[in-house]
Structure 1
Amino acid sequence: MTESEHRMIEILRILNKQKKPTGSKLIATELKNKGFNLGERAVRYHMQILDEKGYTEKMGYSGRQITDLGREKLEKGLIYDQVDSIYSKFQDMIYLTDFDYRTQKGNVVVNTSTVYDEETLNLVKETFDSGLCVSPYVKFQKVDDDKYNVKTICGTTIDGIFLNEGILSHPLYGGLLKIEDYKPTKFVELISYKKTSIPPLDAFIVKEMTSVSDVIETGEGVIPANFRIVPSILREKVENIVNELEKIGIGGVLDIGYEGESTLGIPVSEGMIGIGIIGGVTPFCVAQEQNRNIDIKIAEEIENFSNLKSLGKIDEFILKPSDKNHYKETPFLLSKMLNLIEQVDFDINTKKGNILANISYLDKDHFDKVMTIMEDSYNQNPEYMNPFYKIIDHPYDEDRFGIGTICSLTTDGILIKNGIMITPKYGGLLELSEPPLFIDLISYNGSSIDPHKVFIAKGMTNINRIGTKRIMASIKEIPYVSRDHAVETLETLKSIGLSIYKIGKPRELIYNAKVDNYNFGIVIGSGLNQIAAIKEENIDINVKAMEKLIPFEEMDRI
């Protein structure tokens, strides 16, 4: 991306955030705050180009506003930039928080979610009574009929309050925290803030992943939570601030660790302490778990605290303090992947040997329909779908069966077996536009969950339905020195039938994603695309990735 393109993307971001016609003077000021030394005249020049492209439109003397096409460009056109911007967005929110807990005045960070009927709204209100929230201070806005926007305080507010008190906190992960006997134990899933185009908690706010209702009723389950670190020398100051915040109804701090000690299953380096904070959208998860119509948004905007009203209970919190057990550390996906890759022994000459398979399970009643879906998926997208599968008996339930599909890590194992270094970089959602573009990416390094399982759980694929196709793929990077050898091996694998989508060049954007310098990227189709197609038909299927080794010669072909 050139410097000029970078400036124009920032202008689009500013217009999208303003949500009203904005003049060049304000845009120039906002750009300066972001480190771009651009005067009003230069801004007007860039705006003219954006107008010509249809990304913005002039609204008389009021200024310009972003168009739907501009929003689409912002959302999809520069995915590699979005991976960097997620963390930057949270940094912006932290800086803009100026709430003073002593006077209870100033701005806080809020999540804005939407409920579509009064019954759901009442359910959300009841959930706040459990204290499973950052704060009972909310703002209800009736949009029309039974539709309400609900603003709730986000945990990022606490990072902002820390910063105002001279404490620099570093948000590291968003994830799912396991609760046992009403006590926080450890994170069971994590995604790094610095390595995703999707806000980490947004990736986990899915009915199948949370069990907030169970936590309220039985004290057992998983809830969304965040994890950050601060310098250990400030531990006492942090505790004092947290105690004062709790007195005024801002809480949700689940655990404050000790210097250099793992906290809630996450390792912490010497000189730092870990802090876990409940996700601000947790009360809405209950409604989602009960199949209510609800739209949950993460860390959307800044709101003055005076505009929020308490639901009444500011000292209720059903969770007990963590017992500080040293739980086994949450495993990261890349470590698991590297160990599995080493077990692949497929021989490209004999076309025999073990490949790594995903195994997903479902009821036998769906067998005929599932086979039809898989066949249709392949016939409609033969260049993007892997044709190999294997039907597998369920280990203990005779009424269910498994579908084995080839995991994309099989390609990594084969290349390594042939002396070629390769590193899995991202799992992504690929939109089959012209040209194809990645519209979301989650790094394998810094995540505990297969990104493709997130995309399936959130219903983000579109393989067989009407509209622009969206499939899943992985990006890997290979040192340029081995390019000729790698290309030859990859072409052989493609001729066998493995899903090799694209082989890039050094420093080339590959479907608008990028890899490190002195490497080139390759894009491999996900073995879970067939499974996603089944899930799109509302068939209940237990999605498993990277499950076991299967001899390639035992695989069937559509």
Structure 2
Amino acid sequence: MSDSEPRMIEILRILSQQEKPIGSKLIADELNEKGFNLGERAVRYHMQILDEKGYTERKGYSGRVITELGRDKLEKGLIYDQVDFIYSKFEEMIYLTDFNYITQRGNVVVNTSTIYNEESINILKSIIESGLSVSPYVNINEDKSKGKIEVTTLCGTTIDGILLNEGIPAQPQYGGLLRIEDYKPIRFEELISYKKTSLTPLDAFSSPNRTSVMDVVTSGDGLIPANFRLIPGIGREKTIEIIKKLDKIGIGGIIAISDEGKDILGITVPKGMVGISIVGGITPFRAIQEQGQEIDIKIAEEIRDFNTLSPITSTIKYGLKPVEHTPQPKISFLLSKSWNLIQQVNFDIEKRKGDIISNVSYLKKEDLDKTLGIMEETYNSNPKYINPYYKIVNHPSDDNMVGIATICSLSIDGLLINNGIMSNPKYGGLLELTEPPLFIELISYNGSTVDPHKIFIAKNMTSISGNFGPNKILASFKEIPYIAREYAVDLLDTLDKIGFSIYKIGKPREVTYNAKAENYNFGVVAGSGLNSIAAVRERGVDIHVKAIEQLMPFENMDRL
């Protein structure tokens, strides 16, 4: 990747936010504000390259616009940049929020989603009336000619912006799923860090059957989307006063505020800091999705004048009980839970014997023959990308169910470590098989409580069993110190020949399939054992996908 690539991506990003053509001077000014020191001449040089690639188009003397190809490049390209951009995007939204809660004027952060019938409006209203939303203030714009309704709601990031304007720096930490029991918030069950992910955390959990917002409203038990941020402990009392004032004007959704340095809802709060949990701004939209209604959810999409919003209801009955400040089991992130398994991998590459880490997914016994047929067909269609090893195992409690174990890619890290080479699992990703292949999504193993590949499967983002073979597959990205490269390459080449699906061994400072290793390291891209399972799910088989489950002797596994 050339040094100019990030600048060109930023130029595309600037153009994508414009409604009309703009010239090099305006682009240079925008770039300078974002920390890129580029003059007009340099911008014109970069724009010429973008024109040649078809990413931009000149519109006479007015300037340039981004093309559809350019938008596609911006969306999929430079994912290593995108994983930092998500957090930066929220920082930008926080900074641009200038809402004054005394005058009730200024800009707020909003989520805008598209629904397709009036019934969805009724569901939205009922959730807002239950108090499971940031605010009753919405904007509803119906386009009858297209049969769709655009609904804008307030995002919880607005509160972070209001606090910042009052001199209190709120730092977004996690988005996740919060367990509610008898209307009482208990603890977060799943979390994804706002840093090092290309997916907005709450978007990652927006797949069907992940939340149960309506159950919380009707019975008091279920899972709702929620966010978690930190503020300095010295700002706690002032924050509480601001939140009380916001609540009076219809901006709320606060679930819990911790004491200084005290853990809450299963999340560790550092000494000197205070944790705040706020209901996810998309919660009403998730309720619509739970009811089987068609909806296109967008998260923290834009800044909008508060005066464009108005209350959808004047009746708000906040149904959640106060949080009890009693210790909950601390949430363990995926990589923390996995290191013990990684260390126990003792696969002998020469004897081809020893323990590897396996994923175990479960399905009905009656679907087993069909499932194995799909797995074999998927492997035969492109053996380069599909791991061929599997093992049929018993279900722990249901005689009508059966498990299929496949090799987890963390086995590769374990094997390297067992041979004295430090291997750090960095990302789980979605790899698009373009030429060359490119990661189009990445989620850090270190910032998630759930395997990223399970998220991509649950959101139906893979494309493995198509008529023309794999298109979007699951892969992982690992970092290895450069000093060990020669020995590591030798081991990885042997693993690839055995069938462990090593896609790419990168070079130092090289962007490898759109992912970037730290300095003095090189990257390795490996296939996921869940690719064949994802293919089965794509073909309509009801299979419960699990990941990083247990150790299993490699010699006991069968091959497709």
Query: TM tier, shorter chain?
Result: over 0.9
Aligned to 1:490: 492
Aligned to 2:312: 311
> What CA deviation, in whole Å up to 9, does each residue of 1:80-114 have, x standing for no partner?
11111111110110011110011111110001111
Aligned to 1:51: 51
Aligned with 1:495: secondary structure? helix
Q: Note if contact 1:98-1:160 (Cα within 8 Å) is conserved in structure 2.
A: yes
> What CA deviation, in whole Å up to 9, does each residue of 1:485-507 have, x standing for no partner?
21121122122221111111211
Q: Note if contact 1:391-1:402 (Cα within 8 Å) is conserved in structure 2.
A: yes
Q: Distance in 2 between matches of 1:252 and 1:343?
A: 44
The 5-angstrom pairing of residues 77-92 of structure 1 reads 77-92=77-92
Aligned with 1:123: secondary structure? helix
The 5-angstrom pairing of residues 159-308 of structure 1 reads 159-308=160-309
Pair 345,36 (structure 1): closer, same or farther in 2 beyond 3 Å: closer
Q: Which structure 2 residue ranges, 5 or more long, are not aligned?
A: none
Aligned to 2:103: 103
Stretch of structure 1 that moved more, 485-494 or 399-408: 485-494
Q: Cα offset for 1:466?
A: 4.8
Q: Note if contact 1:133-1:279 (Cα within 8 Å) is conserved in structure 2.
A: yes
The 5-angstrom pairing of residues 391-410 of structure 1 reads 391-410=392-411
Residue 17 of structure 2 aligns with an amino acid whose one-letter code is K
Aligned with 2:480: secondary structure? strand
Aligned to 1:531: 533
Q: Distance in 2 between matches of 1:480 and 1:23?
A: 43
Aligned with 1:351: secondary structure? coil
The 5-angstrom pairing of residues 326-365 of structure 1 reads 326-365=327-366
Q: Note if contact 2:358-2:552 (Cα within 8 Å) is conserved in structure 1.
A: yes
Q: Note if contact 1:118-1:146 (Cα within 8 Å) is conserved in structure 2.
A: no
Q: Cα offset for 1:149?
A: 1.1
Q: Cα offset for 1:24?
A: 3.2
Pair 419,36 (structure 1): closer, same or farther in 2 beyond 3 Å: closer
Q: Note if contact 1:249-1:315 (Cα within 8 Å) is conserved in structure 2.
A: no
Aligned with 1:342: secondary structure? helix
Aligned with 2:426: secondary structure? strand
Q: Distance in 1 between matches of 2:372 and 2:533?
A: 11
> What CA deviation, in whole Å up to 9, does each residue of 1:467-496 have, x standing for no partner?
770001111111112122211211221222
Pair 11,324 (structure 1): closer, same or farther in 2 beyond 3 Å: same
Q: Distance in 2 between matches of 1:269 and 1:355?
A: 36
Aligned to 2:140: 140
Q: Distance in 2 between matches of 1:45 and 1:535?
A: 47
Q: Note if contact 1:500-1:524 (Cα within 8 Å) is conserved in structure 2.
A: yes
Q: Cα offset for 1:44?
A: 3.3
Stretch of structure 1 that moved more, 137-146 or 187-196: 137-146
> What CA deviation, in whole Å up to 9, does each residue of 1:172-198 have, x standing for no partner?
111111111111121111111111011
Q: Cα offset for 1:314?
A: 5.8
Residue 129 of structure 1 aligns with an amino acid whose one-letter code is E
Residue 344 of structure 2 aligns with an amino acid whose one-letter code is Q
Q: Distance in 1 between matches of 2:506 and 2:28?
A: 37
Q: Cα offset for 1:61?
A: 4.2
Q: Distance in 2 between matches of 1:436 and 1:2?
A: 18
Aligned to 1:540: 542
Aligned with 1:445: secondary structure? helix
Residue 465 of structure 1 aligns with an amino acid whose one-letter code is G
Q: Cα offset for 1:312?
A: 1.5
Residue 116 of structure 1 aligns with an amino acid whose one-letter code is Y
Pair 268,42 (structure 1): closer, same or farther in 2 beyond 3 Å: same
Aligned to 2:505: 503
Q: Which structure 1 residue ranges, 5 or more long, are not aligned?
A: none
Aligned to 1:479: 481
Residue 528 of structure 2 aligns with an amino acid whose one-letter code is S
Stretch of structure 1 that moved more, 287-296 or 40-49: 40-49
Aligned to 1:8: 8
Q: Distance in 2 between matches of 1:35 and 1:493?
A: 43
Q: Distance in 2 between matches of 1:61 and 1:385?
A: 51
Pair 62,320 (structure 1): closer, same or farther in 2 beyond 3 Å: farther
Q: Distance in 1 between matches of 2:76 and 2:505?
A: 21
Stretch of structure 1 that moved more, 311-320 or 208-217: 311-320
Q: Distance in 2 between matches of 1:514 and 1:37?
A: 23
From 516, 519, 522, give the equivalent of 1:520. Answer: 522
Q: Cα offset for 1:385?
A: 0.2
Residue 412 of structure 1 aligns with an amino acid whose one-letter code is D
Q: If the length of structure 2 is used for normalisation, what is the TM-score? A: 0.97
Aligned to 1:74: 74
Q: Distance in 2 between matches of 1:64 and 1:117?
A: 38
Q: Distance in 2 between matches of 1:549 and 1:321?
A: 42
Aligned to 2:63: 63
Residue 473 of structure 2 aligns with an amino acid whose one-letter code is I
Q: Cα offset for 1:380?
A: 1.1
Q: Cα offset for 1:126?
A: 2.4
Residue 557 of structure 2 aligns with an amino acid whose one-letter code is M
Residue 297 of structure 2 aligns with an amino acid whose one-letter code is I
Pair 492,48 (structure 1): closer, same or farther in 2 beyond 3 Å: closer
Q: Note if contact 1:115-1:147 (Cα within 8 Å) is conserved in structure 2.
A: yes
Q: Note if contact 2:479-2:521 (Cα within 8 Å) is conserved in structure 1.
A: yes
Q: Note if contact 1:247-1:315 (Cα within 8 Å) is conserved in structure 2.
A: no
Q: Note if contact 2:125-2:313 (Cα within 8 Å) is conserved in structure 1.
A: no
Q: Note if contact 1:182-1:319 (Cα within 8 Å) is conserved in structure 2.
A: yes
Pair 508,25 (structure 1): closer, same or farther in 2 beyond 3 Å: closer
Q: Cα offset for 1:290?
A: 2.2
Q: Cα offset for 1:555?
A: 0.9
Residue 135 of structure 1 aligns with an amino acid whose one-letter code is S
Pair 223,375 (structure 1): closer, same or farther in 2 beyond 3 Å: same
Q: Note if contact 2:457-2:534 (Cα within 8 Å) is conserved in structure 1.
A: yes
> What CA deviation, in whole Å up to 9, does each residue of 1:322-354 have, x standing for no partner?
111211111011111111111222211221122
Q: Cα offset for 1:19?
A: 3.8
Q: Distance in 2 between matches of 1:450 and 1:128?
A: 32
Q: If the length of structure 1 is used for normalisation, what is the TM-score? A: 0.97
Q: Note if contact 1:80-1:512 (Cα within 8 Å) is conserved in structure 2.
A: yes
Q: Distance in 2 between matches of 1:285 and 1:556?
A: 41
Q: Note if contact 1:172-1:229 (Cα within 8 Å) is conserved in structure 2.
A: yes
Q: Distance in 2 between matches of 1:205 and 1:418?
A: 40
Residue 115 of structure 2 aligns with an amino acid whose one-letter code is V
Q: Distance in 2 between matches of 1:34 and 1:2?
A: 19
Aligned to 1:371: 372
Aligned with 1:214: secondary structure? helix
Aligned with 1:195: secondary structure? coil
Stretch of structure 1 that moved more, 395-404 or 300-309: 395-404
Aligned with 1:454: secondary structure? helix
